[in-house]
Amino acid sequence: MEVVIVPDAKAGGELIADAMAQLLRRKPDALLGVATGSTPLPIYQALAAQVRSGAVDTSRARVAQLDEYVGLPADHPESYRSVLRREVLEPLGIPAESFMGPDGAAEDVQAACEAYDRQLAEAGGVDLQLLGIGTDGHIGFNEPCSSLVSRTRIKTLTERTRTDNARFFDGDVEQVPHHVITQGIGTILEARHLVLLATGEGKADAIAATVEGPLAAVCPASALQLHPHATVVVDEAAAARLKHADYFRHTFANKPDWQGI
């Protein structure tokens, strides 16, 4: 696992956007796994700026959804399908037919989960998966004590996560669905490159457990320790609990430029 400490969220977004742009230059139809929430917005904004400048072409890129609320119609403004259309597809000029995601409004949710897992495999797998991290160490909606080999499935959200997400529902936790479809940890680990971005002091404990703690289901993000190409990008605040921060700074400052992240 590579840990990169950056000054702030903007720098982290630009670094990751550069990696995505390099991937798209090598493989214009790359399948990008995308996440929602406020943390990845600097990534999408930086990549969109590169598209506008002509530095990268995203017209052939494909996009895969990490998770989705259960029970919200696809056109609900806070369904993740709608959020990703506004924040990723439209700014990057990616056509709707290049988007894939689970059907959170399906009558048979289990069948929808299994169908999405198959769809990802049939598409050739995710080339680069963006991840955020919850204050409790969850990735996607794999809450603490999720199986480290889990597949796409329905999960019940903790009250902590529902409270964290209430800001997207006018501050009303009662509007936040209780269930989601999420790629499982085993599904996530099949992506060729995992890139996790975390910013703010509130994520510092979770990042320390992910990077320097034991591999344990109680911290789902610690599963990144098993991946052959996992990159954790954190700002100074999120890096505040890392015991080996100086080492991480040194190794990144001295790596060859051609390696990227």
Where in the sequence numbering do the catalytic residues fall? Answer: 67, 136, 138, 143
What phi and psi values does residue 98 have, to the nearest 5 degrees? -95, 10
**Rounded CA gap, 118 and 151, in Å?**
11
Cβ atoms < 10 Å from Cβ of 52: 12
DSSP per-residue letters across the chain: -EEEEESSHHHHHHHHHHHHHHHHHH-TT-EEEE--SSTTHHHHHHHHHHHHHTS---TT-EEEESEEESSS-TTSTTSHHHHHIIIIIHHHT--GGGEE---TT-SSHHHHHHHHHHHHHHTT--SEEEE---TTS-BTTB-TT--TT--SEEEEPPHHHHHHHGGGGTT-GGGS-SEEEE--HHHHTTSSEEEEEE-SGGGHHHHHHHHHS---TTSGGGGGGG-SSEEEEEETTTTTT-TTHHHHHHHHHTS-GGG--
Residue 192, CA atoms < 13 Å, CB-side half-sphere: 13
**Rounded CA gap, 177 and 157, in Å?**
8
